[in-house]
Structure 1
Amino acid sequence: MNRWCVAVVLIAALLCVGIAGAERPVKEPVDKLVFVHYKDAARAPPAGDQTASYKLMGMKWKQFPVSYTVNTANTCGLTAGAVGENVQAAFSAWDASTSRALFGTGGLTSAAPAVGRNDVFWGPIEDRNVIAVTTVWYTRGSKEIVEADIQLNAYLTWGIDANGEVPGYALANAYDVRNIVTHEAGHVCGLADLYAVRASELTMYGYGGLGEVKKDSLEAGDVAGLRKLYGA
């Protein structure tokens, strides 16, 4: 049984939500999806990185560029500058795979996550099997994403791979920031998790591991899903 968790929360009242990509209010019922990124249940055998698999959430951004903010109040011992650079690199991987200018440059802040802003931040998640949680808010009728937040589990050990996707990762007992955020940024774009073994080498594969860096770069299925939403 798939261990991904998608919680759909219905907000009955009409909400006035600030769309970070366009900085405009929208009055429409808003729902949310919550994606939970789990640790590896078991190491899947390599499936080849060119599988064309992808799964769409059913909603997308319609106002661009989408801004996001990286919270540096707690970076689990990593420098704010390095965290900012690696988060930006994660979002840029998606930007580079479509002609649509999806994301603006991420800003740094020490302020707490706020409504109407797309935040990337570390926070405590009690379940130590959870690496990260991404929450996506979207309008019920038009299926437009209006906000997305990425929470990285502050109870886990985090690191930054200075050498990219190469063997011998020095921080084998840490979760690589860029690797995990690249996966989470896929949810921000509108892509859902994949759990089939054939998709185990894709960025949107739903499990992550210590020392893993392969999600840094998008593969065929990731790119195909992105372009289905935003064009080539």
Structure 2
Amino acid sequence: MSKKRNTNILLGTILGASIIFNGYLAHNALANDNSPSVIVSVDKWKSSNVTYDFDDNTWPTSFDYAVNESAAGTGLKGWNANSGIFLGYSSSSNNDWLYGPADSLAVTLCYSDASHNLTEVNTTINSSYSWYTGLTGTPSSTQYDLKTVALHEMGHWHRLLDTYLSTHSSYVMYGYTNKGQVKRSLTSFDTEAAKIMYGPN
């Protein structure tokens, strides 16, 4: 089966020079938002249950919490409570989180088949940077907040793309971040975009 690769890239302090392929649709995520729309993909998960694994050879166990919270956190702290799909850990999953060399801060690769069904997603967190792994507290001025980046990347697992409007700077799917910056809760813009793709929880 041939697979089509789509790429979402986080470039240093830039959270998302997304490479956009054919087959993307623009949606206005909020009815009262008159600014340009959020971009979502026509590629999506066929199943409502999606698993992920941590690469045994590279992944620090201290990173588990930030990723798991990005999926299963209560309220606006995680995607599962705000989307029609469920992301959960499974040691047998072929969708991986990795820690190692990358061309940018983090990279998410999404693979789909000819019917636009996602078949595999992998995210690499760049090991060249210093990461703050706590779910509370504040990273130092030399650290990136892992929960902030993981929550953003989980948005790409939903096939949401980045927004670069300065008026969207508070959104998780905003395409820029900085050392010391924290965004650990989804906004209505982020959740409405996920519901466009998968319906409500």
TM-score above 0.5, yes or no:
yes
TM-score by length of 1: 0.69
1:72 Cα deviation after fit: 4.9
Letter in 1 for 2:150: V
From 171, 174, 179, the counterpart of 2:148: 179
Identity of aligned residues (%): 26
Describe the SS at the equivalent of 1:211: coil
**Max Rg structure:** 1
Please show how residues 120-131 of structure 1 align to structure 2 within 5 Å: 120-125=97-102, 127=103, 130-131=104-105
**Is residue 72 of structure 2 the alignment partner of residue 94 of structure 1?**
no
CA RMSD in angstroms, aligned pairs only: 2.2
Alpha carbons of structure 1 residues 187 and 101: separation in structure 2 relative to 1, 3 Å? closer
Aligned 8 A contact 2:80 2:86 in 1: yes
The runs of 5 or more residues in structure 1 that have no matched partner are 1-14, 16-28, 42-49, 110-115
Describe the SS at the equivalent of 2:39: coil
Letter in 2 for 1:117: N
| Alpha-carbon distance in structure 2 between the residues aligned to 1:218 and 1:157 | 24
| Alpha-carbon distance in structure 2 between the residues aligned to 1:56 and 1:207 | 18
| Alpha-carbon distance in structure 1 between the residues aligned to 2:141 and 2:81 | 28
Deviations, residues 143-166 of structure 1 (Å, cap 9, x unaligned): 1111100001111111223425xx
Describe the SS at the equivalent of 1:185: helix
Please show how residues 144-163 of structure 1 align to structure 2 within 5 Å: 144-163=117-136
Alpha carbons of structure 1 residues 172 and 160: separation in structure 2 relative to 1, 3 Å? farther
Q: Which runs of 4+ in 1 moved over 4 A?
A: 50-53
**Is residue 38 of structure 2 the alignment partner of residue 54 of structure 1?**
yes
Deviations, residues 56-89 of structure 1 (Å, cap 9, x unaligned): 02211011311100125334xxx51x32121101
From 127, 132, 142, the counterpart of 2:106: 132
| Alpha-carbon distance in structure 1 between the residues aligned to 2:113 and 2:180 | 37
TM-score by length of 2: 0.79
Please show how residues 1-232 of structure 1 align to structure 2 within 5 Å: 15=1, 29-40=2-13, 52=33, 53-75=37-59, 80=61, 82-92=62-72, 93-98=78-83, 100-104=84-88, 106-107=89-90, 117-125=94-102, 127=103, 130-140=104-114, 142-163=115-136, 169-214=138-183, 216-232=184-200
1:107 Cα deviation after fit: 4.2
Letter in 2 for 1:60: K
| Alpha-carbon distance in structure 1 between the residues aligned to 2:187 and 2:108 | 21
The runs of 5 or more residues in structure 2 that have no matched partner are 15-29, 73-77
> Number of aligned pairs?
176
